[in-house]
Structure 1
Amino acid sequence: MGNSGQIGTYIRPSTERQDDQHQRDSINSYIEEEGLPRDHVEQYVDIESGSSDEREQFNELLDAIKNDDVDHVVVWEISRISRRGATLQEFFDACEEHDVTIHITDGAVEKVKPDGQGRFVADIIGMVYQQERRQLIRRVKAGVKRAKDQGKWIGNVPAGFRRDDDGYLQPIIEPEDGEDSYFEIENAIQRLEGGDSFRSVAKSLSISRQGLTNIYQDDERRQWYLNARAEDDRVDDALDEIDIGEQR
């Protein structure tokens, strides 16, 4: 690579929960092995998904490339740049047009040069990543549909309920720390019906005042607690599992 030229490093974890330290270590080791001065390095870091083009740091790096402010880009692997084929091609084209070499520290291709060397393999890798993403989306959608068809609860669990080990909704009878029982929410809704303020009612609950307001203002959901009945069969089945009359 040589010892001159501005270097842009790009880092993006796969998810917000993942640590990017392994990417940083790999990139730093590469730069050290190449003998590059640290004052020539500009870091760009995003946490947004690689399927999104609304990544602030990625777009800043792309602008730097197009403005001829970057001579080399160092990334951990190609999928960190993007999992969208069109975006990846735009990035490759910009680097090629502005004489920027892409260095991949962990991948089947090590460099994509402005003269086209490594571009063919990088294009294939990009297509593989895109196909893997499509397959993942299909699997997730199929899994969600299958779970819903089985009556399992998908998404955020409503107040006063929990999801059991099999994925089915259950009313909370004996709450743990940070939980409100079904009957506490029921009592809260009844107090609101009686004219108590949201602020005073929410004080005794783990749920926020806004969360309580959202329940009360939702006509259908409010009936879950006032009448122990729901149009959603998953909720209705959960309420049928306990003898509401005896618990009250």
Structure 2
Amino acid sequence: MRNTPKVAAYIRASTDKQESQHQRDDINDWAQNNNIGPTEIDWYVDLAQSGSDPGREQFRELTDAIDAGEYDRVIVWEISRLARLGSIYQKFFETAADNETIVNITNGWSDTVRPDGTGKLIADISAAVAEEERRKLISRVNSGIKRARKEGKWLGEVPVGFERTDEGYLRPLIDADPDEDSYLEIRNALEAIEDGGSYRQEAKGLNTTRQTLSRIDQDDDRLQWYLDAIAGDERVAEALQDIQH
């Protein structure tokens, strides 16, 4: 039996831009309220990692450390931070139980899962509810995207020389601000490149980079948007109707 309790904390964020500081703050607050000092915690952090990936480096190292008997307690912000797949989730808790490791959840229906199984059922239900809510959210988002596309709305990054209307539709940018390039400016640059001009030369005086001009020039479909005002994408074709007349 270990004489000095050792504590680990695990943080996971799905993208490297996703905010993870709130997880750390919440864990630290919980630890302080339970007489665990910040210097007593070993941190394991996986950023830009999906909860469905069992090969997360830090998660794998933490699981191995628990299996080696190194920790009496593991603190996580939320059950979903550990795993989103039931098999990964269950294996983690089996490892913790086999090694007498307590798992604390700072943001959940149950804040403690003990090796004897106390709190596990509530944690399982919490995880199942969270996953169902996530599925519903993904379904709503996907439905919204499909509906927007069906209505001809443009999603994602707006192509250079275009703008997106308040209603979400794409249209050529004619009256451009100083920090923008109009559709006609981009078309003139591409026409000059077709006549032998260089990307670097034609990018001078534009906000658009030579790399962007090069990508458009080497994409036959997109190049037609500018040189011929035609497009296979119905949303772009609709936007270009006024240019064609």
- Normalising by structure 2, report the TM-score: 0.88
Question: After superposition, what is the alpha-carbon deviation per residue over 1:30-81, rounded to whole angstroms, capped at 9, x for unaligned?
Answer: 2222222443311122332544415433333223223333221111221222
Q: Is the contact made by 2:51 and 2:80 (CA closer than 8 Å) also made in structure 1? A: no
1:227 partner amino acid = D
Which residue does 2:193 correspond to in 1? 192
Match of 1:36, SS state, is coil
Any residues of structure 2 matched to 1:113-132 within 5 Å, and which? 113-132=114-133
Shift of 1:108: 0.8
Structure 1 Cα separation of the partners of residues 218 and 212 of structure 2: 10
Match of 1:11, SS state, is strand
Structure 2 Cα separation of the partners of residues 7 and 180 of structure 1: 56
Shift of 1:148: 0.9
Residues 188 and 67 of structure 1: CA distance in aligned 2, closer, same or farther (over 3 Å) = farther
Shift of 1:146: 0.8
Q: Which is worse superposed, 63-72 or 47-56?
A: 47-56
Q: Is the contact made by 2:51 and 2:82 (CA closer than 8 Å) also made in structure 1? A: no
1:67 partner amino acid = A
Q: Which 5+ residue runs of structure 2 have no aligned equivalent?
A: none
Shift of 1:15: 5.7
Shift of 1:243: 4.5
Aligned length: 243
Does residue 64 of the first structure (1) align with residue 57 of the second (2)?
no
- Normalising by structure 1, report the TM-score: 0.87
Any residues of structure 2 matched to 1:12-91 within 5 Å, and which? 12-13=12-13, 16-48=16-48, 50-53=50-53, 55-91=56-92
Q: Which 5+ residue runs of structure 1 have no aligned equivalent?
A: none
Q: Identity of aligned pairs, percent?
A: 47
2:27 partner amino acid = I
Q: Is the contact made by 1:186 and 1:225 (CA closer than 8 Å) also made in structure 2? A: yes
Which residue does 1:148 correspond to in 2? 149
Q: Is the contact made by 1:3 and 1:36 (CA closer than 8 Å) also made in structure 2? A: no
Residues 178 and 90 of structure 1: CA distance in aligned 2, closer, same or farther (over 3 Å) = farther
Structure 1 Cα separation of the partners of residues 161 and 123 of structure 2: 51
Alignment RMSD (CA, Å) = 2.3
Shift of 1:219: 0.8
Q: Is the contact made by 1:44 and 1:57 (CA closer than 8 Å) also made in structure 2? A: yes
Where has structure 1 moved over 4 Å in runs of 4 or more? 13-18
Which residue does 1:164 correspond to in 2? 165
1:223 partner amino acid = Q
1:20 partner amino acid = S
Shift of 1:227: 0.8
Which residue does 1:208 correspond to in 2? 209
2:225 partner amino acid = W
1:78 partner amino acid = I
